[in-house]
Amino acid sequence: MSKNVKLNDIASYSNTRIKISDITLDTYITTDNLLQNKAGICKATNLPPQDGTMPAYQKNDILIGNIRPYLKKIWFADRNGGASPDVLVLNVHETYDPKYVYYTLFRDDFFDHVMKGSKGTKMPRGDKSQVLDFLIPDFDLPTQQKIASVLSSLDAKIELNNRINAELEAMAKTLYDYWFVQFDFPNAEGKPYKSSGGAMVWSEDLKREIPEGWKVGTLLDIATYTNGLACQKYRPVNDDTLRVIKIREMKDGFSASSELVRVDIPEKVIVENGDVLFSWSASLEVIVWAKGRGALNQHIFKVTSEKYPKSFYYYQLVNYLQHFKMLAENRKTTMGHITQEHLQQSRIAVPSSDGLIKLLDEKITPILDKQIAIEQENQQLTQLRDWLLPMLMNGQVVVE
């Protein structure tokens, strides 16, 4: 078992600055684009005013969200850039492996430590001095590098899988758009319908041309939308439980803090891998769930259909989502709120032939199945990493 040293002895906060005019959306890090539950970052959506400077970070620095530390926002920088003041930027001293230090801070007990020193109730903020009191296992440099290598290899595979799934999603969406948005599905001769001169008619409801014979329907015509349950009515009474899928779980998957409910809940609100979920309040999002059996929370619809295949109603909903987001924005509210009435008011083009829908489903379903399998593999890799992490840090598992 190694001795411990304080974070303060092996790392320090960045004291360098960068001109705000020199940063881009790809290099700007705020608490908004640091992702919860240690999921890294997403691209920033806007830049601050271009006057002045901001804290700089360098490749191999460690960035930590310092507002609401319980959200567990941390990122190992793979580039240079600038960060907002509410992001802590740690430079690791040369005698320590920065990726190793990153993984020591990746543990839940680090964020528990930060929360113990945080100030404020609504928006708790970590105490910068207290953060540096966190104890780090003081392995020699070769051991640090071995530990970091093992954990990095797992994260690299997870990241590769995420990129593959993003490509698969783009491929399926492009195929759907080509057939059912641009209307260039194969005609009787196998040629693109619209581009080859297929008959089109004007739809007053859709304010655009659609293929002759197609009808105008609604999102309610093609699927059923079942709202989740109020979890407080189903508190656990023993260890036989299901984890609850809230909007946070939709984005990040289950965690140790996920709420639990009894298993004797209505079958219609039990979610299995492959189910389509639509969060209709606060954050408007549509996904194919692939993170394990769970119980659906209110504010999320489980979308099903007895008539149409999943590939059809899923991508119809994905395609319509931007309209719903614009609807929420036009109401000038930060809280999106889509109701059954909005679903009834929606207007979509529906093919006249179920055969065309089935033909596209034969092409898209294997893609969706592959995405689910990859996501399940990522769940297993994440569980392995999270099991190994404390074992490696306390010396129970040794890397030869």
Which residues, given as ranges, of the chain have pLDDT below 50? 333-335
Fold match between domain 4-138 and domain 219-346: yes
Res 331: pLDDT: 62
Closest residue by Cα to residue 296 from 315, 313, 272, 274: 272
Superfamily of domain 219-346: DNA methylase specificity domains (3.90.220.20)
- pTM as predicted: 0.87
Spatial distance between the Cα atoms of 90 and 342, rounded to a whole number of angstroms: 47
Spatial distance between the Cα atoms of 278 and 271, rounded to a whole number of angstroms: 12
Spatial distance between the Cα atoms of 212 and 93, rounded to a whole number of angstroms: 69
Which spans in the chain are helix H? Answer: 7-10, 98-106, 108-116, 128-131, 141-180, 219-222, 247-252, 310-330, 340-345, 354-393
The CA-atom distances, in angstroms, between 190 and each of 193, 195, 269, 354 are 8, 12, 42, 17
- Dump pLDDT digits (tens) for 277-329: 999 887 889 999 999 999 999 999 999 999 999 999 999 999 999 888 887 77
Spatial distance between the Cα atoms of 254 and 363, rounded to a whole number of angstroms: 30
Spatial distance between the Cα atoms of 78 and 175, rounded to a whole number of angstroms: 33
Tokens of 45: 């959506």
Residues sharing a CB contact under 8 Å with residue 191, sequence separation 6 or more, in sequence order: none
The second-level CATH assignment, the architecture, of 4-138 is: Alpha-Beta Complex (3.90)
- Dump pLDDT digits (tens) for 205-264: 999 999 999 999 999 999 999 999 998 889 998 889 999 999 889 988 888 788 999 999
Res 334: pLDDT: 46
Taking CA 187 as the corner, what is the angle to CA 183 and CA 193, rounded to the nearest 5 degrees?
35
Res 357: pLDDT: 96
Spatial distance between the Cα atoms of 60 and 45, rounded to a whole number of angstroms: 23
Give the domain ranges of the chain. 4-138, 140-197+353-400, 219-346
The domain defined by 140-197+353-400 carries CATH number 1.10.287: yes
Q: Classify residue 355 by its DSSP letter.
A: H
